[in-house]
Amino acid sequence: MAENRIHVVMVPWSAFGHLIPFFHFSIALAKAGVRVSFISTPRNIQRLSKLPSTLDHLVDFVQLPLPSLDKELLPEGAEATMDIPLEKIQYLKLAYDQLQHAVKQFVANQLPDWIICDFSPHWMADIAQEFQVKLIFFSVFSASSMGIVGPTTRKAPISPESLTVPPEWVTFPSSVAFQRHEAIAFCAGLNEVNASGVCDLERIATVCNASKAVIFRSCYEIEGEYLKAFQKLVGKPVIPIGLLPVERTERERGIVDGCSGNIFEWLDKQPSKSVVFVGFGSELKLSRDQVFEIAYGLEECELPFLWALRKPINDNDENLCNLNCDDAFDKEEVLDSLPQEELNLSHKPVSVPKFVATKGNDHYEFVFDSFKH
């Protein structure tokens, strides 16, 4: 019976905003009886949540060592974007591309039924074709954002100006567009050929064009028009797989760890719909000065806030994540780890009215998880 199971290989990019959705989708597939091989590097796999014990026999974590580069380019132990500053990510892509030889050997040995891959491993298109394995592009980016980027067959670089208004192929009322400064930064990352020799636009186009279908972590209730528009653009099935919220474990309010318990106690003291949640995700690395500027701004707003704060880059001050804006207000909670599996927007009696957030997976998980309540 086990030999007849559908076998799917997952190949996510080495960023936790990508690894986590791929991991959650792997769990969903395993619950449906699909055998999954999840490919990543050892340290990335070790930092994922624990797999439900009932699915151990269906999900295989394939740990492939990340090829090493000169330490000046990519520090030892850096296996994900969160481990390095922005300017080093191009070297992570260079090392990541060298995984293709080990991945190709794995596919040759296993001959899976499907490969579900991210935008970054553009070389999966050739591997899938060589071994006649069907390929699916899993976009962790929203359908609306992919719709702004436009057709994957385009050859010319994308101009920032084209992203500041809804594109012509969005024929329904829409206000989704970039601010000019956002568009400039986005296009720089998308168009420029980096140390890996391949720009992100080419990576996306290669994977998408070689795929039999595109899947989004989305649903028709939220992005129905954009999903349909993107399907017209790419001329192939576009499938929303839902938001993949984290399932609750048996750990309830009374059996969470000390940190989580303190958070709930603090939240219970706040007025309903009063707390500002601040989360900058796993991608953005704040400097010490930026941390203090944000802290001053939060103090000035005079609202209770919950801040998931990562230690600033190049800062050895162990007390920085314990900063207090003003003890007299007793209105802030600053955390260096946010236990999202216990905390979500449905927490009563507090619901969080406003977000201060940016690139990274943390705040998306926080919002998606709350849709099911």
pLDDT in tens, 126-150: 999 999 999 999 999 999 999 988 8
| 168-182, 203-217, 258-272, 299-313: least confidently modelled range | 258-272
Positions marked catalytic: 18, 118
Confidence of residue 156 (pLDDT cuts 50, 70, 90): confident
Model confidence at 358: pLDDT above 70: no
pLDDT value of position 74: 97
For 210, the token pair is 């070689």
Burial of 316 (0-12, 13-18, 19+ CB in 10 A): exposed
What average pLDDT does the segment 120-124 reach? 98
What contacts 175, CB < 8 A, 6 or more positions away?
166
Confidence of residue 253 (pLDDT cuts 50, 70, 90): very low
What average pLDDT does the segment 160-182 reach? 94
pLDDT value of position 351: 47
For residue 173, cis peptide bond before it (omega within 30 degrees of 0) = no
Q: Does residue 26 contact residue 6 with C-beta atoms inside 8 Å? A: no
Amino acid letter, residue 245? P
Higher per-residue pLDDT: 111 or 347: 111
Q: Does residue 102 contact residue 66 with C-beta atoms inside 8 Å? A: no
Mean of per-residue pLDDT scores for the chain: 84
Amino acid letter, residue 120? S
Give the number of C-alpha atoms closer than 13 A to the C-alpha of residue 227, restricted to the C-beta side: 19
Report pLDDT digits (tens) over 25-81: 999 999 999 999 999 999 999 999 999 999 999 999 999 999 999 999 999 999 999
Separation between Cα atoms, residue 282 and residue 310, nearest integer Å: 8
Give the number of C-alpha atoms closer than 13 A to the C-alpha of residue 220, restricted to the C-beta side: 4
Separation between Cα atoms, residue 204 and residue 365, nearest integer Å: 23
**Helices 200-210 and 180-191: angle between axes, nearest 10 degrees:** 70
CA distances from 330 to 37, 245, 249, 324 (A): 48, 32, 31, 9
CA nearest neighbour of 370 among 226, 31, 355, 334: 355
Q: Give the global pTM.
A: 0.83
